[in-house]
């Protein structure tokens, strides 16, 4: 089920021949014309793929939760690079237009649909998952994708960390189990996921090498436990990694024999195809770690979230909420994220919260 909205008629920008917000599919629709109880909420809508200006702040109608759904009033919404791919129409999971972006948030349950047993009205929960729809004051969500936020973690922290933190958890526990003595290389080490990876793997006892674009980001990466920070615009990162690892890392070039390349993003675009001969010389492993696949089952999601929140509550992971924007300013937040101006987590706060 996808949380979708139906926009109010707007005669200026959307003539009647061009229906505004359509449901993604009939059974994904939160509303019908005959639904008696709808609430007006503010939300960001993408009508056409494009730049940050494609993010429109509008009034939409929100219905009651259906079977298996909850309605959530957001406290905070996490921004992710994935939101940018989708807005541009690049990513293969881009939702059909028009849609409300966002995969990460925290909030209070305001209503539960039939059959929901995993949470109740008044609970503070967080989620980092499809379906999109987080850039809104309130939304509907499949109840089984929401996890409880424990005491010791506040709503803004939860929204800042749940998607990126589950991604980091899966990367270091499942895609490749990081252990004391391992050496790992983290690209975009001062980013949302990168910051968590550096802190967590340092605490485990790995040697952490990170690449960043600016000196300011290098300072943050150091603070986050990166033992060696490489300014990749100034130095050749392959040469530096070879130097740091005393030549043990080769490449894909920087990997050692039987080393693991775990890709988890493509902020700079789809990488070139990798011929098997690149892997065979050193018997390398190459995988793409998709967090959603590792947390598909409810028990997997709960276990990963518990591991994450435990490490937030005990201070292993310090959540860097370096940038807060009102929900209405989502376009500015995207502009800054794309311009590489942000570090750590970026959150949107519903206007008036």
Contacts with ligand NAP, residue ranges (CB under 6 A): 80-82, 163-164, 167, 188, 190-194, 212-213, 217, 264-268, 289-291, 338, 340
Whole-number minimum distance, CB 225 to ligand NAP, in Å? 16
Whole-number minimum distance, CB 262 to ligand NAP, in Å? 9
Which of residues 5 and 176 has its CB atom nearest to ligand NAP in the complex?
Answer: 176
Q: If you write DSSP's letter for every residue of 10-71 in order, what string do you get?
A: -TTTS-TTS--SPPSSGGG-S--TT-S--EEEEEEEESS--SGGGEEEEEEEE----TTEEE
Contact 187, 268 (CB under 8 A): no
Neighbours of 15 (CB within 10 A): 11
At 274, give phi and psi (nearest 5°).
-110, 115
The residues near 314 (Cβ < 8 Å, ≥ 6 apart) are none
Residue 24 backbone zone (phi > 0: left; psi -120 to 50: alpha; other: beta): alpha
Whole-number minimum distance, CB 293 to ligand NAP, in Å? 8
Whole-number minimum distance, CB 50 to ligand NAP, in Å? 16
Whole-number minimum distance, CB 189 to ligand NAP, in Å? 7
Whole-number minimum distance, CB 105 to ligand NAP, in Å? 14
Whole-number minimum distance, CB 118 to ligand NAP, in Å? 23
The residues near 108 (Cβ < 8 Å, ≥ 6 apart) are 72, 73, 75, 122, 123, 124, 125
Please give the span between the terminal C-alpha atoms of the chain, in angstroms, as a whole number: 27
Which of residues 140 and 193 has its CB atom nearest to ligand NAP in the complex?
Answer: 193
Give the helix/strand (H/E) hosting 217: helix 215-223
Strands 55-62 and 39-46: antiparallel
On the CB side of 116, how many CA atoms lie within 13 Å of its CA?
24
Whole-number minimum distance, CB 259 to ligand NAP, in Å? 19
**C-alpha to C-alpha distance for 53 and 34, rounded to whole angstroms:** 33
Whole-number minimum distance, CB 97 to ligand NAP, in Å? 20
Contact 18, 50 (CB under 8 A): no
Please, what is the angle between helix 215-223 and helix 192-204, to 10°?
40
Which of residues 62 and 212 has its CB atom nearest to ligand NAP in the complex?
Answer: 212
Cβ burial 342-353 (10 Å sphere, 16+ → b, else e): bbbbbbbbbeee
Which of residues 65 and 165 has its CB atom nearest to ligand NAP in the complex?
Answer: 165
């Amino acid at each position: 089920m996808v949380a979708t909205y139906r926009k109010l008629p707007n005669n200026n920008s959307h003539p009647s021949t061009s229906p505004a917000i359509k449901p993604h599919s009939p059974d994904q629709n939160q509303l019908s014309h005959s639904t008696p109880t709808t609430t007006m909420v503010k939300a960001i809508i993408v009508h056409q793929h494009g730049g940050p200006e494609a993010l429109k702040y509008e009034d939409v109608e929100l219905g009651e939760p259906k079977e298996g759904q909850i309605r959530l009033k957001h406290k905070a919404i996490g921004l992710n690079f994935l939101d940018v791919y989708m807005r541009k129409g690049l990513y293969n999971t881009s939702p059909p237009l028009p849609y409300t972006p966002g995969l990460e948030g925290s909030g209070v349950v305001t209503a539960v649909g039939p059959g929901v047993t995993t949470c109740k009205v008044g609970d503070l929960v967080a989620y980092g998952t499809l379906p999109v729809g987080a850039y809104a004051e309130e939304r509907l969500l499949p109840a089984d994708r929401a996890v409880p936020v424990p005491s010791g973690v506040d709503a803004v922290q939860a929204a800042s960390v749940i998607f990126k933190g589950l991604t980091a958890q899966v990367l270091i526990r499942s895609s490749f189990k990081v252990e004391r003595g391992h050496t790992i290389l983290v690209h975009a080490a001062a980013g949302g996921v990168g910051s968590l990876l550096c802190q967590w793997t340092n605490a485990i006892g790995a040697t952490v090498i990170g690449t960043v674009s600016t000196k300011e980001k290098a300072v943050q990466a150091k603070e986050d436990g990166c033992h060696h920070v490489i300014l990749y615009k100034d130095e050749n990162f392959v040469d530096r990694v070879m130097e740091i690892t005393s030549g043990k890392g080769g490449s894909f070039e920087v990997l050692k024999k039987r080393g693991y390349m775990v890709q988890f993003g493509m902020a700079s675009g789809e990488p070139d195809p990798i011929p098997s001969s690149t892997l065979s010389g050193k018997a390398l492993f190459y995988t793409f770690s998709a967090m959603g696949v590792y947390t598909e089952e409810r028990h997997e999601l709960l276990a990963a979230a518990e591991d994450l929140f435990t490490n937030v509550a005990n201070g292993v992971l310090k959540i860097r909420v370096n940038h807060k924007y009102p929900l209405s300013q989502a376009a500015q937040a995207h502009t800054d994220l794309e311009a590489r101006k942000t570090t750590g987590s970026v959150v949107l706060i519903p206007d008036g919260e």
